[in-house]
Structure 1
Amino acid sequence: MVLLTFNIINPDWAFKNIGGLRNQDLLEITIQNTKAVLRSLESKEIRATFFIEISLIPQLDTLIKKIIDEGHEISFYHIDSSLEEIERIKKNTEELIEKQIRGIRMKENAFDLNEILHLRFTYVSLIEETSFAFPFKRFERKAPIIEKNGLSILHESISRYSQIPYNDFIFQIMPLSYYEKMVVETIKKDDFVLFYLNSWQFTDFDKDKFEISFFKKYNSGQKLQDKLEAFLTWINEAELAHSRMKDFAF
């Protein structure tokens, strides 16, 4: 099983804006990048989960409706929001889409699990610290999915043999043929692979100026878009099962 997920995050959260782009410009970059991902998914008839940074959600009604109308799932991405803000935005978003928001992606220990359960989330996708300069850092092996306090808790997937995590930069940097072998090996071991990319990785950094390290810029933009489409084609040709998070973690 391949769990395809995408984090919708403004690029100014990760990089210094040296191009003088306004907030509306930054938001438009995020929207256009997300629409590019949606086109790729639609062309391959694959459904995914989109984790949206919580503070962005009130500005993205039209995009959120488009994601839902195309059969994908909306979940939350927590950076620095309060529980009160999460509760308020969750209620408003559920009224907008007429569906329950089931998942939240956050760093481990960001909130007590009982607080997450109280907000009627059914699964938590935990992310590792990725501020290090070298993206191939090996993580301590953890159970890929556990049930605790009524929640499904999913850790980042890790390659069975190399112990390389399936974080956003690994897909961007690693040759696709090797990455595909990793996916097959990990599915055999864990039954699933949790895949994710960030919306800002599809930014044209030659056009939209940010202060960004070389390895994060490498193979970004259109190159990453082409690589994603090739990966989605491979998933279909290899007849690998794929799922939205809410259909897998319950």
Structure 2
Amino acid sequence: MVLFTFNIVDVEAEAKKGASITVEERLAVTENNSRAILRILDIHDVKASFFIEVSIAEKLPHLIKAISSKGHEIAFYHTDSSLQKIEETKKWIEDVLEKQIKGIRQKDHKLPHEELKMLGFGYVSNIDHADILFPFKRLKRDTEIVEENGLSIVPESISPYSQLPYNDFVFQVVPMKYYKNMVFETLKKDDFVLIYLSSWQFTDFSKYRFDVPFYRKWNSGKKIEDKLDKLLCWINDNEMATARMKDYIF
């Protein structure tokens, strides 16, 4: 099973010297990037899970409704919000969509599983920090879903023969032929492969004056749209099953 997931987050980079980018402009970039992802998924009839960053979720009601109406899962991406803020945002989205939010993803700031369970979450999908060197460190970790304090803990997937994780940066820099081999080999060993990308990667950095390192701009924007399109074509051509996270777990 291939689990496609997307972190919906604002571009964190500052504006280049002499330029300015407002909060509203950042939000517009995030929404446009997310709708580009939706279009590609719709073309290939693939359902995915969208992890919306908690602090911007209530500012994107139309986008969240569009994602849900296409049959995709809405979940949360927690960076540094308080438990109260997560609870309030969760209730607001559930009222808007009339659907339960089951998943939450964390990276740098991780909340106790007991508290997440009390808020009504059913699974946690934690991810590691990824920079220019991290994706190429050889890693060893458990790749099976486990139950802990009533929550399903979903680990990041790792290619068994290269030991590369399936994080956003690896997808951006690894050649497609090699990436396909990673997916194929992982599915021969594991029950699922969890792939995640981030909405900021779909930004046209020639249009928006964000001060980002060259390795973050490389293969971004339209190039990463095309890369995602090619991967989905290959998955459908090879009749690989895909699913939303909550469907696979529960």
TM-score by length of 2: 0.96
- In 2, the alpha carbon distance for the partners of 1:40 and 1:51 equals 17
Q: Is the 8 A contact 2:131 2:169 kept in 1?
A: no
Q: Determine the C-alpha separation between the residues in 1 that align with 2:194 and 2:108.
A: 16
By how many angstroms is 1:6 displaced? Answer: 0.4
Q: 2:83 maps to what in 1?
A: 83
Write 1 or 2 for the structure with the bigger share of strand: 1
Give the aligned partner of residue 144 of structure 2.
Answer: 144
Residue of structure 2 in register with 1:96 after alignment: 96
* Cα distance in structure 1, aligned partners of 2:141 and 2:54: 29
Match of residue 187 from structure 2: 187
- 1:177 counterpart letter in structure 2: K
SS in 2 for 1:126: coil
Sort the Cα spacing of 1:119 and 1:61 in 2 relative to 1 into closer, same or farther, 3 A.
Answer: same
| Structure 1 stretch displaced more, 71-80 or 122-131 | 122-131
Q: Secondary structure at the match of 1:210?
A: coil
Match of 2:117 in 1: 117
1:17 paired with 2:15, answer yes
1:149-168 equivalence runs, <5 A = 149-168=149-168
Q: Are the counterparts in 1 of residues 106 and 125 from structure 2 also a CA contact under 8 Å? A: yes
- Three-state SS of the structure 2 residue aligned to 1:248 is helix
For the 8 Å contact 2:132–2:215, the answer to whether it is kept is no
Written as runs of structure 1 = structure 2, the 5 A alignment for 1:1-250 is: 1-11=1-11, 13=12, 15-18=13-16, 19-107=19-107, 110-131=110-131, 133-250=133-250
Q: In structure 1, give the amino acid aligned to 2:26.
A: L
C-alpha deviation, 1:59, in angstroms: 0.4
Which string of whole-angstrom CA distances, capped at 9 and with x for unpartnered residues, describes residues 200-237 of structure 1?
00001111111111111110000000010011111100
In 2, Cα distance between the equivalents of 1:61 and 1:109?
25
Shift of residue 42, structure 1, vs aligned partner? 0.4
Is the 2:123–2:152 contact (alpha carbons within 8 Å) kept by the matching residues of 1? Answer: yes
Query: Residue 160 and residue 136 in structure 1: after superposition, are their counterparts in 2 closer, same or farther (change >3 A)?
Result: same
CA–CA separation in structure 2 for the residues paired with 1:176 and 1:245? 24
Code of the aligned partner of 2:248:
F
Alignment check: 8 A CA contact 1:144 1:156 kept: no
- How far apart in 2 are the matches of 1:27 and 1:129? 23
Residues in 2 aligned to 1:161 and 1:55: alpha-carbon distance in whole angstroms? 38
CA distance in 2, matches of 1:90, 1:214: 36
Q: How many residues align?
A: 248
CA–CA distance in structure 1, aligned partners of residues 49 and 195 of structure 2: 10
Aligned-residue offset at 1:76: 0.1
Alpha-carbon RMSD: 1.3
Q: Is the 8 A contact 2:58 2:89 kept in 1?
A: yes
The answer to whether the Cα contact below 8 Å between 1:48 and 1:245 also exists between their aligned partners in 2 is yes
Identity of aligned residues (%): 52
Q: How big is the shift at 1:199? A: 0.3
What is the rounded CA distance, in whole Å, between the counterparts of 2:131 and 2:238 in structure 1? 34
Q: Structure 1 stretch 130-139 or stretch 174-183: which is displaced more? A: 130-139
Distance (whole Å) between structure 1 residues aligned to residue 151 and residue 113 of structure 2? 8
CA contact (8 A) 1:108 1:126 kept: no
Alignment check: 8 A CA contact 1:2 1:241 kept: yes
